[in-house]
Amino acid sequence: MGTSVQDRMVRGVLTRAYRPTDESSVLALINDDRLPGQPLATAAMLRDAVSPDSRRRSIGYEHVRVDVLVDGYDRVQAAACTSARPGRDEGLLLWLHGHEHPSNVAKMLDSALSLLRARRTVIAFDLAPAGTTTGVGGLPIRHRPATAAALAVVGFRELRERRCLYRRLDQEPVTTRRTGAISWRPWPAGWAVTVLDADSERLGEAVVSVPEDRSAMVWAVMASSVRPRPAVTRAVTDHAVHVLYDLGAREVSALIDGADTGDFDEAGGFREIDRLRSFVLDRGRPAVAGRGSGGRA
């Protein structure tokens, strides 16, 4: 098999640009790493990630690309999506999947960092849902220890963290249902749940996924009140859970900033199943990208 500008050898294994024929293999990699309640990555989501007209380009990303690690038979073993922020010396490793096989994950990470070598700073697994294929930002460190270890080996350090909380909905929640409204969000596909207080003032908003296989996720909670954030976060999340129950969900995961969790675990019926982290690598003076590098990301 010949190589090209798009192909790179990493420790004797070939990495190359994603091809449409890789679609099913890459989707299997992504979905193998799902958390409970996390939506399935679909072919449409993956096509958007590699499309020249990707929505990511309209919300602050550029040079978005997907690359794969293949074996000697050109079978996909790992995949990664890299990007950059316009006007900033900052590269992005948006996602990386490799069935948590330590060697394949490390090789795929090496390749991604090679593509981003002209960038002084690299952010990995940004917590912003818009940077992902399934709307879930951050690396779940308990479910994906091989990837977390590979990042540490090359010098990444923790940047931010959120808790991933989980609860079953075998019956309608007994928590307070509030007044509010829901509106459709086209990407990532889901609902914005606006919650009002007793005076019909805006209390906050939750962004939730479309339930699939009776599972759903609260992607983000935004408080718009001067009241204590944990109390508002809890109230907005409780109402979002009611909405998801009405939409057919029977298990829910919620991604919540650690400082805002309050008494979720006990009174809210949730339990923590993971921590989602983003990471940063500061490499000082960037290297100059040479010819045949596969392009600057």
Q: Is 70 exceeded by the pLDDT of residue 20? A: yes
Q: Is the peptide bond before 188 cis (omega within 30 degrees of 0)?
A: yes
Q: Is 70 exceeded by the pLDDT of residue 266? A: no
pLDDT reported for residue 285? 54
pLDDT reported for residue 39? 76
Backbone angles phi, psi at 113, to 5 degrees: -70, -30
Domains by residue range for the chain, with CATH: 8-162+278-282 (3.40.630.30), 166-274 (3.40.630.30)
* pLDDT bracket for residue 291 (50, 70, 90): very low
Report the predicted TM-score, pTM, of the whole model to 2 decimal places.
0.81
Cβ proximity of 92 and 131 under 8 Å: yes
Q: State the distance between the two ends of the chain, measured CA to CA, in whole angstroms.
A: 25
pLDDT reported for residue 293? 40
- Measured CA to CA, the distance from residue 297 to residue 287 in angstroms comes to 13
Query: What would the mean pLDDT of 77-84 be, rounded to a whole number?
Result: 93
Percent of the chain's residues with pLDDT above 90: 39
Query: What would the mean pLDDT of 153-178 be, rounded to a whole number?
Result: 87
Count CB-CB contacts under 10 A for residue 189: 15
For the ranges 76-90, 188-202, 249-263, the lowest mean pLDDT is seen at 249-263
- Measured CA to CA, the distance from residue 82 to residue 218 in angstroms comes to 25
For the ranges 26-30, 106-110, 136-140, 245-249, the lowest mean pLDDT is seen at 136-140
207-241 pLDDT, tens digit per residue, is: 888 888 888 888 888 877 666 677 788 888 888 99
Is pLDDT larger for residue 103 or for residue 4? 103
Q: Which residues of 224-256 are buried (b: 16+ CB within 10 A; e: fewer)?
A: ebeeebbebbbbbbbbbbbbbbeeebebbbbbb
For the ranges 75-79, 91-95, 127-131, the lowest mean pLDDT is seen at 127-131
pLDDT reported for residue 71? 92
Q: How many CA atoms lie within 13 A of 123 on its CB side?
A: 20
pLDDT reported for residue 1? 43
102-119 pLDDT, tens digit per residue, is: 999 999 999 999 999 999
- Measured CA to CA, the distance from residue 132 to residue 290 in angstroms comes to 29
126-137 pLDDT, tens digit per residue, is: 876 554 555 578
* pLDDT bracket for residue 78 (50, 70, 90): very high
- Measured CA to CA, the distance from residue 287 to residue 118 in angstroms comes to 5
Is pLDDT larger for residue 78 or for residue 210? 78
Percent of the chain's residues with pLDDT above 70: 79
53-69 pLDDT, tens digit per residue, is: 655 554 567 888 899 99
* pLDDT bracket for residue 261 (50, 70, 90): low
* pLDDT bracket for residue 19 (50, 70, 90): very high
- Measured CA to CA, the distance from residue 35 to residue 42 in angstroms comes to 15
DSSP 200: S
202: which residues sit within 8 A by CB, 6+ positions away?
A: 194, 195, 196, 224, 225
